[in-house]
Structure 1
Amino acid sequence: MKPAIIYMLEVLVCSGVLLAAYAILLERRVKFRWCRLYLLLTTFTAALIPLLRIPVWPGRVVAAAPAIPPDLPVWTGEVLPDEGGSFAVTPEIFCLGLYLLGAVLIAGVMAWQVFRIHRLRRGAEISRTGDYTLVRTRQEIASFSFLRTIYVWDKTPAGELAAILAHESSHIAHRHSIERILMELMKALLWWNPFAWIAARRLTEAEEFEADNDVLSSGYDRAEYMQTIFRQLFGYSPEIANGLRNSLTKKRFKMMTKQTKSRHGLLRLAGTLPAVIGLLCAFGFTSRAAVIVAPATAPATGTTEEPADIRTAADAMQKQDKTCTATLSVVDKKDKRPIEGALVQAAGTPKGTVTSKDGRAVITVPEGSELKISHIGYEPRTIGVKDENPVVVSLIRNPKAGFTPTDDLPDAPQKQQQEQVTVSVATYKDNAPLAGALVKVSGSQIGAVTNDEGLAALQVPANSALEISHIGCKPHIAQVGDKARQMFMFDMQAETAGKSETEGTTVTTTVTDKPLYIVNGIETKEIGKLDPDRIESMSVLKNKAATALYGEKARNGVIVITLKGADMGPATSESNGKRDDAEQTAANAIAIKNGTPEKEEAFLVTETMPLFPTEDPAAPYGDLGNFRAWVQKNVKYPAEAFEKGIGGRVVLSFVVEKDGSVSDIEKLQAPDASLWEEARRVIASSPKWKPGEQRGQIVRVKYTLPVDFRLTKASDTPAPESGK
């Protein structure tokens, strides 16, 4: 797992450096064919350099010390039968599956584009020449070429067709389609690398610039050719093909009007070599194999003394590998009574243990380690481990702890101790889950340690006391009630007393007011009845991070909880799932006020976004881009604004309801009332969408859309357009 992450980081560095060298030295400064070749080669080279292991640097010279066989006991082994355990999904397997999924998905998109291009031939007029095949399709498309075929709309004006054919013929002559296919394949393999996507974009720019330059060099009028490009901005044009329709229009117009002189092209190419050599030195060159030199043989009658450096290294390795088993007896310094449940932890590691009823603990640690001993109600101590002799550790009571050590607590009634309840504990520190906290039942050996998510669950006697401690943090104590399931949350940096989140229990926390609870994205009043087994993850937000997202109501902090499964609200421990009026908050998704149901909160992003209906039977639904094209087709420039020369951008928001209709159209920005009314009219007349889904449930989704109203200078015709 770690080598893969290191490789990905090295590929990102190589890609970024090589792409920066292209932008500084080559882009539109050398011939376009050199730009194309550089982008293809460097995208591949960036992935290859970290894999190279070229032995260049000199290796170490190691003097071999005579091997001394260790005095180890003889162990016997037993081969156990295979119990046929289930297959476990490791992080490595998960990451490999995620990578393959992304690669297959991008390759599938490319294959789908090739399939759609092939379908354009159905019912089309096909003519062949010596250089290319011309397909005049009945489907309204933006002209493009793929391999040796040019695709145009059969209603393309004859005056524009000559420039289009000249442009696409240039693509075919330079074999741009093959370059695009190779780059798409590298994108599929390196889909996690953003620089690969940027390089693909730069390759498209270089190809389009080259084709435009060829057309203008053949004698076409620049102004007419630019008008032809502008009229080709709408229509189907696959990413894998070369075409006139592209969001590069502004850059292409700039290239046509302001030619950049290509001077010192070879010198600029040579300027990229230091970047490649530097990356090879950083990631591709390694040291040669170490040279092992045998020590000189001493006479049989004499004595041999090892070199000082070898002896020091051997002693250090032996000391590092040597461990010892420490035996501790933890007692109260005042009355010498054994302390049960004291936490004994190796400093700087998660390794630790808990003292037994007689105050003893045994732990194996590297020789020379430090052990930290702590217990609620006592001041912590740190001791060094030098040998395996038993050590007695006396803890001093801390009068500032605010409560009595566990052995001084009154025993709970026997009847209550026999009733077992399920307790879930969550610990956090500095806005993050805290692992390794000890959760222990007072006066017993029942306990658990919180996991990496700061969670621990255990069965404890009803009405017992819980002790929560962690090295370097102030300890906590809580009283368990008699409910079947209970949940506690602790801030391990607590300074003041407060209330727990479970009704009828008392804990120590840092805040005197309750924080804001967000369960599955919905605000919830309390989480006392959450089923701990349903919690998938939990995070804590404080200070500016909380108020920036949730406003002033989050001034006491925010606890964000995600539940397992598709339930949109928090689950309770009751089997019938019913809640009283005071508990009905996030689980209902519709708040009831004065007997009138309110609308649910609209999502901004969902697992399945709404789809806009299209007129294509093969693809009946499209994305937001299809909706923008529909708005562009139906919006009309208001006569009042046109006469006054008013233009600008209208920004509005709307909601796609559960039934697919459009509602809640709101004005966010508008330069003129007439422009806003026209944009609102078009959005309101939208056909019904296919609604969005979140965790298998149909939900409301909110969109924000800009609509531009522009008066073109080339003519008096107004040009409204939806924002991109």
Structure 2
Amino acid sequence: MMALINFILCSGLLLLAYRVFLQNERMYRFNRFYLLFSLLFSAAVPFITITTHPQSLPVSYQHAVERVFTSSQTTATSSPLAQHPQILPDVDPNPVITAISIILAVYAFVTLVLLGRFMINLYRINRSITQNQRIELDDTQLVLTDASVIPHSFLNYVFVNRDDYPDGLEPQIICHEQAHVRQRHSLDVLLVEMMQVLCWFNPFIPFYRRAIQLNHEFLADEAVISQSIYDTIDYQYLLLAKASQANSIHLASQFNYQTTKKRLTMMTKNTTFAKAIGKQLLMLPVAALAVLLFSEKTAATVLPKIFPTLKTVEALTAKVDTPKVDFVRFAIPKAMRTKYSATDASEKVMSEYTAILKKYDIPDGNGKTTDISATDKAQLHALFIQMSVKQQNRQQFRFTKAFKPVAKNTITTEQLSEWQQDPKKFGVWVNDKRVKNADLANYKADDFDNLMFSRLTPVAIKNDGFRFQVNLMTKPYYAEYYKKTMANQEDRMDYWHIQRRK
């Protein structure tokens, strides 16, 4: 029992260290290692035995102890109880039902229930794979499903809605999901799910799961942004648009409105190399403290060699050489297509378009759209709208329509009352800030101009404690949002393709 308590306390200590020192730093590979290591390490620490080496006793004291011990043995042998053991109380050493057997029965029952749910989720994913069309794309397989889902991944598969492929499928999203596949994030998820099944009594495991999955999103976002072909701001807008859509199935990599803001923040955050190394090394004394506190014996002279060396830490933060790539192009979705010509543009127009891009080394994938001057941007746009749909779709560098602001909608007094009274069912945000449900008593239904309502995934429901997210904009806030959005309605520059390893 003490080992289980130490396991729980050790995992809590290491999770606290992660939240204080690591979670807001841009060193996602180390964070991935740390979170997985912390879970396994916490389970092993209670079984580590640290022994001390006592000093030799003086000879005279040893002899005194031996005499007392010999005397006590002689007395015990000659006592009535030793000669007549039948007079001891009649106690059954193996009762039919004990507290331990009840605890073990409860543990086995809950574990079997969780294992059954885990197997059902795996079965559903496998059924989706086997019963739907699959298309090879690089080192992944696209699974075209009729279900109303946004793209998500599991193991080597990326699940997309059949109607979205290929015209409605944004290349950044596919690139994001391919990053999940290539970095084998599903293996982390499976490990945490098995830990949850076997160690469900540990209240910190759901928090580990959430931290690991959020770090997976950071890693995938970094994989997209690190490719200079994608503009960070456009990618952020795309994530905001996807956050309000339907969610994907449990166990799969997924978009989540709850984590979108954190992801947007981390995209622009920077952590220096010195700061990263300093914080990573700081985890060594934290791990040592965990061993001292939660191993079988706390008094120790030598600690087990279980910690990563500085060389290991540097290896985790080292950059990996970017592989050579070619490109897979996707058609521009109809809803995002800007002006185009009914006939093909001349060879002169196409050559001039390419020549401008070559000035910024963009066709080779090394340039950035932010380097393009305003004059060249205007000239590129003028040339682009002279192209036919087919010619536009062939371009790596494209123009698309700007995002329109979300429309106003109405909110009833009954809805406001329901959200206010049921915090276990609804999480409430007003003007992009989390508020208490009771704070809605300060508002009337006609104080708001916009409502965005979304259902959380099973994982988010379990972690956050509510099932639906309510996002409200007050009239002044919506007016300012609408004004800012409408102030920038020019066609947007963007890259529309997927990099594929050669």
Q: Please indicate the TM-score interval, normalised by the length of the shorter structure.
A: 0.5 to 0.7
Q: Which of 274, 283, 287 pairs up with 2:285?
A: 274
Give the match for residue 32 of structure 2.
Answer: 36
- Residue 22 (structure 2) pairs with residue 16 (structure 1): no
Q: How does 1:240-251 map to 2 (within 5 A)?
A: 240-245=251-256, 247-251=258-262
Q: Which of 155, 171, 193 pairs up with 1:162?
A: 171
CA distance in 1, matches of 2:412, 2:99: 63
Give the match for residue 709 of structure 1.
Answer: 472
Give the match for residue 305 of structure 2.
Answer: none
Q: Do the aligned partners of residues 115 and 285 (structure 1) sit closer, same or farther apart at CA in structure 2, a change above 3 Å counting?
A: closer
TM superposition shift of 1:131:
0.6
Contact 2:151 2:248 in 1 (8 A): yes
Residue-by-residue CA offset, 1:43-86 (whole Å, 9 max, x unaligned) = 111111111113235378563222333342232649xxxx9x99
| Secondary structure at 2:159 match in 1 | strand
Q: Which of 57, 66, 72 pairs up with 2:79?
A: 72
Give the match for residue 230 of structure 1.
Answer: 240
TM superposition shift of 1:187:
2.1
TM superposition shift of 1:19:
1.7
CA distance in 2, matches of 1:254, 1:30: 11
Residue-by-residue CA offset, 1:378-416 (whole Å, 9 max, x unaligned) = xxxxxxxxxxxxxxxxxxxxxxxxxxxxxxxxxxxxxxx
Give the match for residue 651 of structure 1.
Answer: 419
Q: Do the aligned partners of residues 13 and 241 (structure 1) sit closer, same or farther apart at CA in structure 2, a change above 3 Å counting?
A: same
CA distance in 1, matches of 2:102, 2:44: 24
TM superposition shift of 1:192:
1.6
Q: TM-score, normalised by structure 1?
A: 0.40
CA distance in 2, matches of 1:230, 1:156: 18
Judge which range, 235-244 or 145-154, deviates more.
235-244
Q: Do the aligned partners of residues 8 and 709 (structure 1) sit closer, same or farther apart at CA in structure 2, a change above 3 Å counting?
A: same
**Where does structure 1 lack aligned partners over 5 or more consecutive residues?**
289-634, 642-646, 655-666, 683-702, 717-724
Contact 1:145 1:242 in 2 (8 A): yes
TM superposition shift of 1:150:
0.3
- Residue 230 (structure 2) pairs with residue 220 (structure 1): yes
Q: Do the aligned partners of residues 119 and 262 (structure 1) sit closer, same or farther apart at CA in structure 2, a change above 3 Å counting?
A: farther
- Residue 191 (structure 2) pairs with residue 182 (structure 1): yes
Q: Which of 439, 444, 467 pairs up with 1:672?
A: 444
Q: Which of 612, 637, 643 pairs up with 2:409?
A: 637
CA distance in 2, matches of 1:709, 1:104: 41
Q: How does 1:695-706 map to 2 (within 5 A)?
A: none
CA distance in 2, matches of 1:13, 1:111: 29
TM superposition shift of 1:144:
0.7
| Secondary structure at 1:155 match in 2 | helix
Contact 1:144 1:242 in 2 (8 A): yes
Which amino acid in structure 2 is aligned with residue 257 of structure 1?
Answer: T
Contact 1:35 1:206 in 2 (8 A): yes
Q: Do the aligned partners of residues 271 and 230 (structure 1) sit closer, same or farther apart at CA in structure 2, a change above 3 Å counting?
A: same
Q: Which has the higher contact order (CA 8 A, sep 6+)?
A: 2
Give the match for residue 211 of structure 1.
Answer: 220
Residue-by-residue CA offset, 1:704-724 (whole Å, 9 max, x unaligned) = 9885433454758xxxxxxxx
Residue-by-residue CA offset, 1:269-312 (whole Å, 9 max, x unaligned) = 22111122222223336499xxxxxxxxxxxxxxxxxxxxxxxx
Q: Do the aligned partners of residues 705 and 133 (structure 1) sit closer, same or farther apart at CA in structure 2, a change above 3 Å counting?
A: closer
Q: Which of 102, 108, 115 pairs up with 1:94?
A: 102
Contact 1:650 1:706 in 2 (8 A): no
Equivalenced residues, count? 326
Percent identity at matched positions?
24
Contact 2:132 2:143 in 1 (8 A): yes
Q: Which of 246, 267, 272 pairs up with 1:256?
A: 267
Which amino acid in structure 1 is aligned with residue 409 of structure 2?
Answer: Y
TM superposition shift of 1:653:
4.9
Contact 1:143 1:245 in 2 (8 A): no
Q: Which of 117, 120, 128 pairs up with 1:109?
A: 117
Give the match for residue 344 of structure 2.
Answer: none
Larger Rg: 1
TM superposition shift of 1:20:
2.3
Give the match for residue 351 of structure 1.
Answer: none
TM superposition shift of 1:670:
6.8
Q: TM-score, normalised by structure 2?
A: 0.56
| Secondary structure at 1:669 match in 2 | helix
Residue-by-residue CA offset, 1:313-340 (whole Å, 9 max, x unaligned) = xxxxxxxxxxxxxxxxxxxxxxxxxxxx
Contact 2:6 2:294 in 1 (8 A): yes
Residue-by-residue CA offset, 1:616-653 (whole Å, 9 max, x unaligned) = xxxxxxxxxxxxxxxxxxx9812999xxxxx9997355
Contact 2:135 2:142 in 1 (8 A): yes
TM superposition shift of 1:93:
1.4
Which amino acid in structure 2 is aligned with residue 268 of structure 1?
Answer: K
CA distance in 2, matches of 1:640, 1:103: 44
Q: Which structure: greater helix fraction?
A: 2
Contact 2:26 2:269 in 1 (8 A): no
Q: Do the aligned partners of residues 267 and 58 (structure 1) sit closer, same or farther apart at CA in structure 2, a change above 3 Å counting?
A: farther
Q: Do the aligned partners of residues 674 and 123 (structure 1) sit closer, same or farther apart at CA in structure 2, a change above 3 Å counting?
A: farther
Residue-by-residue CA offset, 1:187-216 (whole Å, 9 max, x unaligned) = 222222222221221111211101101101
| Secondary structure at 1:54 match in 2 | coil
Which amino acid in structure 1 is aligned with residue 145 of structure 2?
Answer: T
TM superposition shift of 1:249:
0.9
CA distance in 2, matches of 1:98, 1:229: 43
Which amino acid in structure 2 is aligned with residue 31 of structure 1?
Answer: M
CA distance in 2, matches of 1:140, 1:704: 19
Q: Do the aligned partners of residues 708 and 675 (structure 1) sit closer, same or farther apart at CA in structure 2, a change above 3 Å counting?
A: farther
**Where does structure 2 lack aligned partners over 5 or more consecutive residues?**
300-406, 423-438, 454-465, 487-502
CA distance in 2, matches of 1:639, 1:268: 47
Q: Which of 199, 202, 206 pairs up with 1:197?
A: 206
Which amino acid in structure 1 is aligned with residue 225 of structure 2?
Answer: L
Q: What CA RMSD, in Å, does the superposition of the two structures yield over aligned residues? A: 4.1
TM superposition shift of 1:30:
5.4
Contact 2:247 2:254 in 1 (8 A): no
CA distance in 2, matches of 1:651, 1:29: 35
CA distance in 2, matches of 1:145, 1:251: 21
Which amino acid in structure 2 is aligned with residue 279 of structure 1?
Answer: A
Judge which range, 121-130 or 44-53, deviates more.
121-130
TM superposition shift of 1:181:
0.7
Q: How does 1:269-308 map to 2 (within 5 A)?
A: 269-284=280-295, 286=297
Contact 1:652 1:704 in 2 (8 A): no
Give the match for residue 329 of structure 2.
Answer: none
| Secondary structure at 2:188 match in 1 | helix
Q: Do the aligned partners of residues 175 and 184 (structure 1) sit closer, same or farther apart at CA in structure 2, a change above 3 Å counting?
A: same
| Secondary structure at 1:145 match in 2 | strand
CA distance in 2, matches of 1:59, 1:127: 71
Which amino acid in structure 2 is aligned with residue 12 of structure 1?
Answer: I
Q: Do the aligned partners of residues 189 and 175 (structure 1) sit closer, same or farther apart at CA in structure 2, a change above 3 Å counting?
A: same
- Residue 55 (structure 2) pairs with residue 56 (structure 1): no
Q: Do the aligned partners of residues 86 and 29 (structure 1) sit closer, same or farther apart at CA in structure 2, a change above 3 Å counting?
A: closer
Contact 1:29 1:263 in 2 (8 A): no
Contact 2:7 2:294 in 1 (8 A): no
TM superposition shift of 1:244:
2.8
| Secondary structure at 1:127 match in 2 | strand
Contact 2:26 2:266 in 1 (8 A): no
Residue-by-residue CA offset, 1:432-472 (whole Å, 9 max, x unaligned) = xxxxxxxxxxxxxxxxxxxxxxxxxxxxxxxxxxxxxxxxx
CA distance in 2, matches of 1:640, 1:16: 43
Q: Do the aligned partners of residues 668 and 18 (structure 1) sit closer, same or farther apart at CA in structure 2, a change above 3 Å counting?
A: closer
Q: Which of 146, 153, 158 pairs up with 1:138?
A: 146
CA distance in 2, matches of 1:140, 1:132: 21
Q: Do the aligned partners of residues 166 and 97 (structure 1) sit closer, same or farther apart at CA in structure 2, a change above 3 Å counting?
A: same
Residue-by-residue CA offset, 1:346-387 (whole Å, 9 max, x unaligned) = xxxxxxxxxxxxxxxxxxxxxxxxxxxxxxxxxxxxxxxxxx
CA distance in 1, matches of 2:295, 2:126: 43
Q: Do the aligned partners of residues 640 and 46 (structure 1) sit closer, same or farther apart at CA in structure 2, a change above 3 Å counting?
A: closer
Q: How does 1:543-558 map to 2 (within 5 A)?
A: none
Q: How does 1:153-552 map to 2 (within 5 A)?
A: 153-156=161-164, 158=167, 160-218=169-227, 219-233=229-243, 234-245=245-256, 247-284=258-295, 286=297
